[in-house]
Structure 1
């Protein structure tokens, strides 16, 4: 009898959704353990010290030699190899085609997955920044309520870490919207003549792509763009046909965002909301102040000041698929002194107030 696998995840991570989907699709029994980024996660103390503490991580008690696996695409390959009894294979039997699928998944993880994560976080900071408190959710129950006063107090500090860790204040300079659009347009061209992304049957590439674009369903500049309708229709079709948990796949953050948008839409009709919007539009002093402060922040905290946060993980370059890993863009944040910590929070709080709104405006600018 197969022992339950242990699936360590961040519930809202699209990389974790990818592994969750594969486990459900192959009907492999598993238990879910939510990762605690600010404390200990029960079970991970058994993991080798050399393993990268990046979610998802899979622990397979049925494998006594090497039970721990990390990085979503190598995990998919491992599941396909270790549990071949499923009628649906995620990788072709041909070694050449299998390598093509594997490399394509890694490329999507290293490009599209990183872009959509950063874009989604900027969208969250724009719409409801107090949602950042969810990162404390494994430690404090109140963190699951973004309207709690404690969530509102702690979320700016968490947002500072997230901005620095994922360089959310540089998505415009790095042209993330344009890069993402180009990937989607290229995929769209493929879908005009084919039902699947590689070959003529469902594979790990389709699963990977659909998982990685899921956050974009809550980013209006992509979801409402008719150029990408073929992409989201394809996502819907693949989910309906191959995801056993569909349509109950929205995570906590997505549900809160949907609820928040519905509340805003309801409040738009009220007189008080209309009055606030009118005052905001005619408040030229506020606009001038914001533009002035944005210019100051841009001058004082230009791109060269980002060098203090260095990449946290090195990219593995082994030719063995089991050891290959996708590129990861997370930055290491360390404080050498209290003064360096104060400077860090001042810097990134300024970015939160004055840079992130411009990044969000760049994302939502109509083409």
Structure 2
């Protein structure tokens, strides 16, 4: 581990599955880091100033800023190679990175779209998810902004009847795939845990409810959120996600979370 590891800052949303990929990689590699959490919507100005784009996650490593979960993990793999997330075998490495790309591009947006279709109908709970670390006045202001924020989020995520059916089909197909593809040891590529398993499990986590503090939505949960988890609970792919979390997701290297200004 380099002497500059304490300077790592992860700019993130709590509970976000793209951000969870990076949290998992940092914790798996034992890299100390500082987490700075933002409110969805108001975060865009800060992210554009920091990284030139509005999306999270963004990782600052000293004076270098890296945006995007796959790009961040690639940098971490180069600077903190142990324990590895990329298979040593070249063919397996290509297959693992291709699988990460598939889940990043096809599955993760579907999971987000379908889950937020439920969460946007529960504005108080939505505020609790993303604003619980903020001061009271910030929480109240964010709650008051919901009538403006929710329509923008629906448009950005394409949350409408034309896309929601496809999103649920994509989630179920992805759960089918991990259940069928996992080998005798439980891994998607080869015989060891890799970026393929991390990406698939992290990006499916919002549908599968793994028991981990970074992704376990707080209780009590609204009835529609409970119904969301119940929809996928008995699928073999959900059991695979939970098993990968249980085997390979550290609880946390640094518990510190810092609220953004």
TM-score range, shorter chain: 0.7 to 0.9
Does the CA-based 8 Å contact 1:113-1:212 persist in structure 2? yes
TM-score under structure 2 length normalisation: 0.76
Cα deviations by residue, 1:122-160 (Å, 9 ceiling, x for unpaired):
11123x22344466778763454xxx6x66543222111
Structure 1 unaligned residues grouped into runs of 5+:
250-367
Work out whether 1:234 is the aligned partner of 2:240.
yes
Higher alpha-carbon Rg: 1
Q: TM-score, normalised by structure 1?
A: 0.56
Counterpart of 1:214?
205
Unaligned runs of 5+ in 2: 210-224, 256-261
Which deviations, in whole Å up to 9, do the C-alpha atoms of 1:97-142 show, x marking residues without a partner? 222211210110111100000111011123x223444667787634
Distance in 2 between residues matched to 1:30 and 1:96, nearest whole Å: 32
Paired position in structure 1 for 2:68:
71
Q: Distance in 2 between matches of 1:226 and 1:3?
A: 38
**Cα distance between partner residues in 2 of 1:222 and 1:185:** 16
Question: Any conservation in 1 of the 2:111–2:204 contact (CA below 8 Å)?
Answer: yes
Which 10-residue stretch deviates more, 230-239 or 17-26?
230-239
Is 1:32 matched up with 2:38? no
- The structure 2 residue matched to 1:113, chosen from 99, 108, 113, is 108
1:129 maps to which residue? 123
Aligned length: 232
Higher RCO (C-alpha under 8 Å, 6+ residues apart): 2
Matched, 1:198 2:189: yes
Q: Secondary structure at the match of 1:33?
A: strand
Is 1:93 aligned to 2:88, yes or no? Answer: yes
5 Å matches for 1:45-56? 45=49, 47=50, 49=52, 52-56=53-57
In structure 2, C-alpha distance between the alignment counterparts of 1:213 and 1:223, rounded to whole Å:
14
1:53 shift after superposition: 3.2
Aligned to 1:288: none
| C-alpha distance after superposition, 1:46-96 (max 9, x if no partner) | x464xx3321111111xx6xx221111121122111111x2x210012333
Q: Distance in 1 between matches of 2:228 and 2:134?
A: 34
From the superposition, tell whether residues 171 and 125 of structure 1 become closer, same or farther in structure 2 (CA, over 3 Å).
farther
